[in-house]
Amino acid sequence: MTETAATLIEKPRSQWRDVWIQFRTHGGALAGMVVFLTLIAFVTVGPLVWTVDPSYVNPDAARMIMTRNKPPSLDWPLGTDQLGRDMLARMMAGGRVSIAVGLVAMSIAIVLGTTVGVLAGLFKRLDGPLMRLTDLVLALPLLPLLLVMVFLFRDALGRALGSETGTFVLIVSAIGATSWMQAARIVRGEVLALKEREFVLAARSIGTPPRRMILRHILPNVISPVMVAATLGIASAIITESALSFLGLGFPPDFPTWGRLLFEGVDYMQLYPERVLWPGLAISLTVLSVNYIGDGLRDALDPRIRGR
């Protein structure tokens, strides 16, 4: 066996290929990915195909009343709402905002929570202050806090970034800033256990600086609980956004989101159950598919499970 031949054959292969191979074997994750990609396509490509204005209300009052609360038909595949607006178009427009809010708010919460958790777990001096801060935010009633935040910053942000972008930034940062505590606590607990493990000691004896210690040894090992917290976080972010919109503090009333569609539909639930069905189904599918993707990703990232 020559040296070069051996090197060529045995070059350590890329870890990400292994991750992908394992991910493919997880049926639920693959199905979740298909569903999630379909939903993304529905809200991004959909409006290009179904070019109906989601906020179009027929100016002719008589015709508007004629087209109110229609059941699904060829003209309106998902029916119409109480103002005769097309539900399919509203679902597409609303989904874009809801999915974006869910993903971005969750990312903010996870990044914030993981940072706080890792710092508190690793550095004893920061542990007390950071965890008391976490307890403090946990103890605050969140909805009033969100209301105050929206009330204080909406106009300023709206002026700076434009009404819709301003509201979007405000809502995702408000939701992100109020939902990182669970992740912080979970991560801190994991880090406290991890830093006593011998491989962390081994890394210290090698002389690995704290920054790379976190990136190389701590974070990859806390990924499982973070992944679970993240997938659940998307669902709660979408719901919180709808609660805010419902209270009139989220997006403007004529601006559709899945949460708002759901709340509007609740009033008519007994007469037109499909009106809550569509947004409810969409939110559930998003949450479920993201959950399954997270599950599959968590398994795929764990070399101990990957081997099986």
Q: Name the residues that contact other proteins, by CB under 8 A.
A: 6-7, 10-13, 15, 197-199, 201-209, 212, 216-217, 220-221, 301-304, 307
Q: Residue 227 contacts by C-beta under 8 Å, 6 or more apart in sequence?
A: 294, 295, 297, 298, 301
- Of 18 and 274, which CB lies nearer to other proteins in the complex structure? 18
Question: Which tokens in the block code for residue 101?
Answer: 């809010």
- Of 7 and 51, which CB lies nearer to other proteins in the complex structure? 7
Least distance to other proteins, CB of residue 224, Å: 11
Least distance to other proteins, CB of residue 119, Å: 18
- Of 52 and 213, which CB lies nearer to other proteins in the complex structure? 213
- How far does Cα 160 stand from its chain's mean position? 25
Q: Residue 207 contacts by C-beta under 8 Å, 6 or more apart in sequence?
A: none
Least distance to other proteins, CB of residue 115, Å: 20
Least distance to other proteins, CB of residue 304, Å: 5
Least distance to other proteins, CB of residue 11, Å: 7
CA distance 261 to 251: 12
- Of 70 and 204, which CB lies nearer to other proteins in the complex structure? 204
Buried b / exposed e over 125-154, threshold 16 CB at 10 Å, is: eebeebbeebeebeeeebeeebbebbeebb
- Of 121 and 250, which CB lies nearer to other proteins in the complex structure? 121
- Of 141 and 198, which CB lies nearer to other proteins in the complex structure? 198
| Alpha-carbon torsion (66, 69, 72, 75), positive or negative | positive
Q: By C-alpha distance, which of 263, 264, 259, 254 is closest to 242?
A: 259
Least distance to other proteins, CB of residue 193, Å: 12
Q: Residue 291 contacts by C-beta under 8 Å, 6 or more apart in sequence?
A: 32, 231, 232
